[in-house]
Amino acid sequence: MRAERWLLWAGALLLTACASQPPQRVQDFGAGNDRIELKQTAFFPNDDQSFAASALATLLYTDGLSMVGPEQVAPFINRKFAAVDQRPALLNAARHFDRLPYVLAPTPDAVFAEVKAGTPVLVLQKLANWRYSVVIGVEPVTNRVILRSGKDGRVYQPLEEFLRGWKASDNWALVVSDGVRVAASATQERWIAAGEAMTKAERPDLAERNAEGALKRWPGTVVPWVALGNARYAAKNFLGAQEAYLESLKLKAENPVVRNNLALVLLERHCVDLAEQQVAKAIASETDAGLKAIYETTRVKISQYEGPSIYCPPPDDAEAPIEYEIAPLNPEKPRASRVRPKAPAKPKN
């Protein structure tokens, strides 16, 4: 009898605990108390099962690309692929239309922060079937999310249903940007990572815009300057990359990774002596053995360089043009330093 009473008591506690949890509200995720609907969001009705092309076209058209509709996006989407496997194609299509695709942090807070900032959000859900939809608003009074989806320009989805369907895609959500405009919910780390992905996708122009946007959002920080230098290096704008790396070193002088990158940039500019100086500083200040090995590779690359070596003013010395001069090229000693102090002027008689 005592055991039975204990089980009943434990069961009552469990029921009480479950009953004490209130239902989730859109306000719990930063949506606020006011109804929001981005009525200016484009709408392309579509009866395709996944709606991928029309959903992305909705973002692109709304972002100012008035010549882009589902017909222009569709060639990038392989309809033989399952909806969940079309996500990389959506990112590629956004890049093709000169927009930076930014995958949000997998939280409702991130989605609602974008909507509050006036940005529609593409999401992937699995309800009866997989489908791409675009979140355009919230309705706190009824606790619903407003979407453009398929043939319907305004779908009211209860929050619980929205979250359940969205969870099946690991909470995947996407916004697009011209690059300079930083997503409202972005952290510096995630935003810079999105820019680095543009460099890998051979779109350093988008990566450069991404870094410029980061500099405006997070001024006075090192990482955006480094990202800008990397993007310019990828675009073969070596002088611009040098300027960006030097700005980062003003904020954090002891940064061997940047010193190594700067050495590579200086080598591309044929500033061999300065490249050697920078990589030597990187090696001397690095404590990580793996990174030090990478810098040693840079030093070897510089030492094996056989092209022309030109004079470049030391980047940290504003008086360099006065204190140094270019030595003549010596074809018999191509590796000889051409940077030498100017001889003092002879006194006039």
Q: Which residue has the tokens 């972005």?
A: 186
For the chain, give the number of residues: 349
Q: Which residue in 28, 32, 34, 54 sits closest to 42, CA to CA? A: 54
pLDDT number for residue 344? 59
For the chain, give every residue range classified as CATH 3.90.70.10: 26-177
pLDDT number for residue 31? 95
Q: Which residue has the tokens 């270019």?
A: 326
188-314, which class in CATH? mainly alpha
Residue numbers of the chain with a pLDDT score lower than 70 = 1-20, 49-50, 314-349
- Rounded-to-integer distance, Cα 264 and Cα 132, Å: 44
Best CATH choice for the domain 26-177 from the list 3.90.70.10, 3.40.50.300, 3.40.190.10, 1.20.1370.20: 3.90.70.10
What is the amino acid identity at position 140? P
327-348 CB burial, b ≥16 within 10 A, e <16: eeeeeeeeeeebbeeeeeeeee
For the chain, give every residue range classified as CATH 1.25.40.10: 188-314
pLDDT number for residue 324? 42
pLDDT number for residue 326? 44
Q: Would you say 26 and 159 are in contact if contact means Cβ atoms under 8 Å apart? A: yes
pLDDT number for residue 110? 98
- The structure tokens listed for 258 are 């940047």
- Rounded-to-integer distance, Cα 17 and Cα 221, Å: 46
